[in-house]
Amino acid sequence: MRHPVRENAESLRQITRRSLILGGTQAAVIGVLALRMRFMQVDQADQFRLLADENRINFQLIPPTRGRIFDRNGEIIAENVPSYRITMVREQAGDVDAVLARLAQLIDLNPDELERARRELRELRGDTPVTLADRVSWSTLSRVAVNSPALPGVLPEVGLSRRYPARGDFAHVIGYVGPVSDRDLENTDAPEQLLRQPRFQIGKIGLEAQRETLLRGNAGSRQVEVNAAGRIMRELDRQEGVPGADLQITLDHNLQAFCHARMAGESAAAVVLDTDNGDILACASSPTYDPNLFVRGISSADYKVLLDNPFRPLPNKAVQGIYPPGSTFKMVTALAALEDGKVSLNETVYCPGHMTVSGRRFHCWKRGGHGNVDLHRSLRESCDVYYYELALRTGIEKISAMAERLGLGVQFDLPMSSVAKGLAPTKEWKQVNRSQPWVVGDSVNSAIGQGFVLASPLQLAVMTARLATSRSVTPRLIRSIDGIEQPTGQGDDLGLNENMLREIRKAMFAVSNSDRGTAYRARIVADAFRMAGKTGTSQVRNISTSERADGVISNKNLPRTQRDHALFVSFAPYDAPRLAVAVVVEHGGGGSTVAAPIARDITLQALFNGDPPLDAYPAAERPAIKIQQEQLRRARPQADAEAKDRA
């Protein structure tokens, strides 16, 4: 059947419209493609020609400049210095063995370093620079640069390396950096490519490690054109990285150096706190070591010397070392008993030289006893029996609670390695950790800072600062970041009875200034700087009944490792406290004879910001102190000269 003419015409018009739409769409697509081809072939011709011509465009990371570290006076104690090295990029080198052979004819290559480099060239990505020689001279670097056309893939580089100009003075606090190890990469979640750069340095311990991200900064990048031999022809693009932050810490180099010099020859630690804001003015662990040895990897021989030293130079005894605090803990026991109403200020306890508890005899350090003693005398002369009695009345739970209130058994949030928590034991602690019930003898031992009680020198300094100020002073190490002041550790009121604290302070003053005080021989005689303190001697061995009957062997007649630890804590000036000091001498013997004189000298050095006048010391000691000051000045010439410049 034939269709009408009108229907045929309408069908033809529809086909024509569809053809026009389809043709227009095709034309538009072809036009866009033509424009894109013109853009790529004309406008971007140079860039694509470079990309197509033997892949001559390289993308390189730009390591950020590590942040510097300064002491409280602005003296630099961790800096970056130029370091020359020779590197190789495998994918640019071609025949690696042939290039290395030519390079070996120009410079001396360490066989061990060369073997390590060959391994890294095999294992790492082809575009990763591998260090062939580090810390080379300028002449060696120049020789390689001149011969670079014959050494494809070999790059002479000028980088930065960490240096610690103060050497061992801040080693335990600042720590050190070192090359990134496989272990570092394993311990890092999704390590960035920067860390995979050979010989890139990161913080290993101390502040360098604890504030690694802050000090490291962020890497930049650049796009360079290289020729067939791998030589950089021009830089096409650069994105600058972000340098690491500069840190200023609270420590004073002059005081830190003095602490090390004063404790030389001892295995000891000293901490000095500013009682107003908690700033750590000194944090010294003796003996120390040179952190520069670790920056590029310490030798086995040097590391063995440090490990074999019986005085243990590697750990930071000031914050990692935990010791029985001995009689320096007696203020804690006294305050716990006073607050609980278990003893009054004037109440006396009779000391015959011992106390029998549950069939066991606990001795006082004074064999014949002290007779009737009150709180003041018990601290002044360090009577043990008085505190045995307080422990029986008060109980370990309240003693431990007071200890934590004063900063013992507390892990302070400081950017140093392995800051110890110490131990203020409780009944529950012993049951959980020793699977044994608490017995009354444990409380008696704890009352005089023995038994399970453990504290670090840092914690003892915090305790002393809190006793001196009635505030929860908290230690601070970082003073500012890129010039921005950080929160202080001034702390709030402890909520303790001020009358009780005042009596504790008076007794501590008598320890150092009464002729019957245990630290009288280590006193300060300058009226404006008199200190209050407390001696401590903690046993590290058991004394048998037969030895007590025959007479306790003196420390000087014992092997070093069996001698008592010597401790002393103090604050000064007494009327307006500015400093809190704690000193621990491992196996030093008596706190009054060994630790107290060290703490006294450090206190005066800090108060006078340099060597104090001789009239600050007792007259009988001045000739010996004059000789000591001359010896210590020779031991710390750098820090002493810097202190004079500041003055």
Is the CB of residue 153 less than 8 Å from the CB of residue 58?
no
For 114-128, the pLDDT digits (tens) are: 888 888 888 877 777
How many C-beta atoms surround the C-beta of residue 87 within 10 A? 21
Q: Whole-angstrom Cα distance, residue 346 to residue 340?
A: 15
CA distance 154 to 554: 67
Nearest to 103 by CA among 136, 57, 126: 136
Would you place residue 220 in the very low, low, confident or very high pLDDT band (cuts 50, 70, 90)?
Answer: confident
H or E element that contains 626? helix 622-635
- Token duo for residue 499: 């009358």
pLDDT value of residue 417:
94
Token pair recorded at residue 125: 């990505």
Retrieve residue 336's tokens: 């716990």
CA-to-CA distance for 558 and 35, rounded, in angstroms?
Answer: 94
pTM score, two decimals?
0.85
| Average pLDDT over every residue of 549-561 | 77
The confidence score (pLDDT) of residue 549 equals 67
Contact 564, 365 (CB under 8 A): no
For residue range 139-154, list pLDDT tens digits in order. Answer: 888 888 888 888 888 8
Comparing C-alpha atoms, which of 151, 150, 174 is closest to residue 163?
A: 174
Which is the catalytic residue, given 83, 267, 285, 327? 327
Exposed / middle / buried, residue 300 (Cβ in 10 Å: 0-12, 13-18, 19+): exposed
The average pLDDT across 614-618 equals 96
Is residue 327 among the annotated active site residues?
A: yes
* Mean of pLDDT over the chain: 89
Cα separation values, 93 from 3, 88, 106, 133, 231, Å: 80, 7, 17, 16, 11
Structural domains in the chain? 57-240 (3.90.1310.10), 254-289+313-646 (3.40.710.10)
Q: 259-264: long-range contacts (C-beta < 8 A, 24 or more apart)?
A: 259/284, 259/286, 259/602, 260/168, 260/169, 260/284, 260/286, 260/288, 260/636, 261/632, 261/635, 261/636, 262/598, 262/601, 262/602, 262/605, 262/632, 263/585, 263/598, 264/635
CA distance 78 to 68: 6
Tell me the β-bridge partners of 532: 571
